[in-house]
Structure formats: C-alpha cells, structure tokens
Structure 1
Amino acid sequence: MTQTPPPGHPWPISFTATCLRATLYILFIAGLAQGAFIEALHYPEVRFSEYGFTELAQSAVLLTASLLLLYTRQVLRVLPTVTLLMFAFTFSSFIREQDYFLDTWVARHTWKVLVTLVIVPILFWVIHERKRFVEEFASYANSFSFGLFAAGVLVTYVFSRLYGRGDFWEAILQEHYVRTFKDAAEEGVELLGYALILIAVIELTLLARRWALARHSS
C-alpha cells in the first residue's frame, strides 16, 4: 500500500471546486439542523431518543465515515495506517451509539466487547507499524481534513460532554428544568461534531483520490 503522497502530488484545488464543496457542506449541516428541528416539533414521543432523527443521523454519519475510510485504505490505497486508526475511532463510535439496542436485544455491555474487538487489534497493528504511521501522519497533519477531524473530535468528545451536563442546565433553567433541554443540547452538539468528522473524512477521500491519480499518471 502507498504510505505517503507521490512526488509532485497535486495539493491545490480550484476555487470553483472549493465553493461547490463549501456549499454542499453548508446544505448538509443545515439539513441535519432542520431534521433535529422537525424531530423536536413533530415527534415528541421519540424526541432525542434512540429512535429519533438526531440519534439515527449520528449513526448514519459515523457509518458513512467508516465506510469511506475503508474505501480510502482498501481501494485508493493511501495512508493505510492513518486511515485504519481513524476507522477504529469512527467505527467504535458507531458501535457505541448502538449501546441501547445491543443492551436490549443482545446483552448488557455488548457494545464494550465489540469496541474492544475493534480497537485492540488495530492499535496493536498501528504500534507495530509505528514508523510507517509517523511518516504517513506527517503527510496528513498539514491537510484541511486533519484540522476538521480534530475539530470534530473536540466538539463531540469534549465540548458536547461539558455543555450537556445536567448540572449546567439545571443552573440555567432552575425550577423549569426538564431533561429534554439537556438531551437536545448534548445530542445536537454531538451531531455537529460527527458531521465535522464526516466532512473531514470526505476531504481525506478526495485528497487521497488526487494522490492516487497522480501516482498512476507518474
């Protein structure tokens, strides 16, 4: 597998392509926000639950990101260890989002077992191939995709957890506190973070495709 970009790889993209992608990403984010709005307005019985739009959209976004990372690694054959580690992160997050269904239909803590089965062998492989990983990461770290991915992780796993604390919303709403406010805040921010991660993975896939085309043409 190709570890790093080929010599003379084409980094720049046209201004038109940039504007088109930006527009599509804006529409994507707006669509997610509108979906959450419709869920809150018309479906109070499943509002911000495992059967609601927001939770299902989170799972769909994470699964799509995971499949794109597999495509980048297995088909485009670019940055195999970096994309494998990113896949471990996104697919483990996808499994974590299914905790309610797994606990209900399979057994309690099933998701923890599945996450362990995904993460442990992949971490072992990346550590074993750490020199290759460092080389690949040096190529990826300066990309737009990496910045977006880091932002998505921070939004999802740091900000949403702190912003969605029950004590925080109880302090704001006081005697008017209802758990739905907390759930809406946490799940909405989490969905935004996952969306940023997906956009980052899309950008990585497009970048890897340019690298692959450059490799084949050289």
Structure 2
Amino acid sequence: MPTPPPVWPIGFQTTLVRAVLYVLFIGAIAQGAYLEALYLPSVRFSELGFTELTQTLVLATCCAMLIYVRHVLKVWPTVTLLLLAFVAASLVREQDYFLDNYVARHTWKVLVALIVIPSITWVIIHRRRFLEEFTYYSNTFAFGLFSAGLLTTYIFSRLYGRQDFWRAVLEENYVGTFKSAAEEVVELLGYSLILFATLELLLLALRIHKARRTTR
C-alpha cells in the first residue's frame, strides 16, 4: 500500500512564496522569448534559439527531479515511472533535429519507443499498485499543474500553432516565423507548468519521506 501524503496543510506564506517564484519564472521566459526575437534574428525560435534550448533545460530538470523522487525518496514509484517516461520522451522528441541530422533519421522515434514501451508495460504489469498510488497523486496540486501543462503543450500549442490558422490571421503578410514563435512559446509555457508540477511533487515527496522517517 503506498504511503498517503501528509495531512498537514501548506501555510499561506509558503504558498505565496511559491506563487511569486512561479510568476517570476513565467515572466522570465516571456522576456527571454522577446529578447530572442529582438537580438537573435538568425536563430530565433529555431533549435539553437533561447526558446528551444530552454525547453530542453526545463525537461532535463524535470527528469532529474523525477529520478530523485523515484530512486532516492522512493515515493509512488509506479506513478513517477510513468511521469518520467513521458517527460523523458518529450525531452528526446525536442532533440529530433539534432538526432535526425547528426545520428540518423527517425532516431528519436526509436529512442522514444525504447523509453515508453517498457515503462508502460511495467505500469500495466503493476497496474494495481499504480491505481493505488494514483488515487493519492490525482488529489494533489502537482497533478493539476501537470494536467494543465499537458493540455497546454500537446493540445493548445499544436492547435494555436497551426499554419492554416496563422495564414488566416496574417493573410498575405504570413511569414513562417509567426507560426514558429506562437507554437514554441506556448509549448515552453506548457513545459514550465510541467516543471512547476514536478517541483510540487518533489516537495510533497520530501514531506512524505520525512513523515516515514519520523514514524519508524
């Protein structure tokens, strides 16, 4: 039976500090995208631009936190395995340009399959444990943030970044950069929400880990 999260509430001051930090981070990435458009015209919104590189950094940070939660704190290992597989697959997907050009075409697809298929298989095998852990995880702020990040990145950014949409908006003034900027910046916002969700999960896992040690 997985360990339920501690029942004590998070104080208002702590919540306020986190909210301020999240707002500052969102402001920083928005300003970064603006500076990228202003001062880096040769690489803006490309694989070598601020937005794409920040996406990679955010996803790599999420992977590191999830590995720590799963393997060091040992909290909800089945749920965190699935989350880690999803984030790691997203990280590999973001490197598709480099992998296709410097390794071989479709390399990223092979790597994603090697990450996702074994992870999902493991979760299916241990589905009862996963459902027990998910019962607790689904009632956390971390799950809400992760869901918001998922919808923003993989649903809204794809629809908002459609070429047909921007051609309809800009008509004869359409330039591909508009589409790339819209899609990539919204995608970065979604990844940022996933980063916040992973951080919230880490903080919760630390509390669970501490509660375990005090009850022994």
TM > 0.5 fold call: yes
Q: What corresponds to 1:215 in structure 2?
A: 212
Report the TM-score when normalising by structure 1.
Answer: 0.97
Q: Hey, what does 1:106 align to over in structure 2?
A: 103
* Secondary structure in structure 1 of the residue aligned to 2:10: coil
Q: Does 1:160 align with 2:149?
A: no
Give me the TM-score of the superposition, normalised by structure 2: 0.98
Q: Deviations over 1:89-110 (max 9, x none)?
A: 0000000000000011100000
Q: Percent same amino acid at aligned positions?
A: 62
Q: Is it true that 1:66 corresponds to 2:63 in the alignment?
A: yes
- Aligned ranges for residues 57-136 of structure 1 at < 5 Å? 57-136=54-133
- Which of these residues, 21, 26, 38, is aligned with residue 24 of structure 1? 21
The answer to whether structure 1 residue 171 and structure 2 residue 192 are counterparts is no
Per-residue deviation at 1:12? 1.1
Q: Distance in 1 between matches of 2:2 and 2:44?
A: 45
Aligned partner of 1:204 among 176, 181, 201 = 201
Give the SS at the match of 2:42: helix
* Equivalent in 40, 45, 48 of residue 45 of structure 2: 48
Residues in 1 aligned to 2:63 and 2:37: alpha-carbon distance in whole angstroms = 28
Alignment of 1:137-156 (within 5 A): 137-156=134-153
Question: Which segments of 5 or more consecutive residues in structure 2 lack a partner in the other structure?
Answer: none
Would you say how many aligned residue pairs link Structure 1 and Structure 2?
Answer: 215
TM-aligned CA deviation for residue 11 of structure 1: 4.2
Structure 1 Cα separation of the partners of residues 51 and 9 of structure 2: 35
Aligned to 1:3: 2
Structure 1 residue ranges without an equivalent (≥5): none
RMSD, aligned α-carbons: 1.0
State the shift of 1:5 in Å.
2.0
**What secondary structure is seen at the aligned counterpart in 2 of 1:4?**
coil
Aligned letter for 2:104?
A: A
Q: Aligned partner of 1:40: which letter?
A: A
